[in-house]
Amino acid sequence: MAYQAYTLKEAAGRPERLSAGHRMCAGCGSTVGIRGVLRALRPEDRAVVTCATSCLEVSSMTYPYTAWEDSFIHTAFENAASTTSGVEAAYTAMKRKGRLGETYKFITFGGDGGTYDIGFQALSGAMERGTDMVYVCYDNEAYMNTGIQRSSSTPLYADTTTTAVGSKSDGKPQFKKDLTKIMAAHHIPYVAQTTYLSNFKDLHHKAEAAIYTEGPAFLNILAPCPRGWRYEESELMDICKAAVDSCVWPLFEVIDGEWVLNYEPKKKLPVEEYLRMQGRFAHLFKPGAAGLIEKIQDGVDSRWAELKGLCGV
Q: What CATH number is associated with residue 82? A: 3.40.50.970
In-domain check, residue 214 = yes
In-domain check, residue 56 = yes
Mean pLDDT over each residue of the chain, to the nearest integer: 93
Per-residue model confidence as pLDDT tens digits over 103-158? 899 999 999 999 999 999 999 999 999 999 999 999 999 999 999 999 999 999 99
In-domain check, residue 3 = no
Three-state SS sequence of the chain? CCCCCCCHHHHHCCCCCECCCCCCCCCCHHHHHHHHHHHCCCCCCEEEEEECCCHHHHHHEECCEECECCEEEECCCCCHHHHHHHHHHHHHHHHHCCCCCCCEEEEEEEEHHHHHHCCHHHHHHHHHHCCCCEEEEEECCCEHHHCCECCCCCCCCCCCCCCCCECCECCCCCCCCCHHHHHHCCCCCEEEEECCCCCHHHHHHHHHHHHHCCCCEEEEEECCCHHHHCCCHHHHHHHHHHHHHCCCCCCEEEECCEEEECCCCCCCCCHHHHHCCCHHHHHHHCCCCHHHHHHHHHHHHHHHHHHHHHCCC
In-domain check, residue 304 = yes
In-domain check, residue 90 = yes
| 221 pLDDT higher than 50 | yes
For residue 180, what are the domain limits?
8-310
In-domain check, residue 298 = yes
> How many distinct structural domains can be found in the chain?
1
Determine the pLDDT at residue 147.
Answer: 95
In-domain check, residue 2 = no
Assign 199 a pLDDT band (cuts: 50, 70, 90): low
Output 5 or 109, whichever has higher pLDDT: 109
In-domain check, residue 193 = yes
Flag the least confident range among 4-8, 62-66, 198-202.
Answer: 4-8
Flag the least confident range among 10-19, 229-238, 242-251, 293-302.
Answer: 10-19
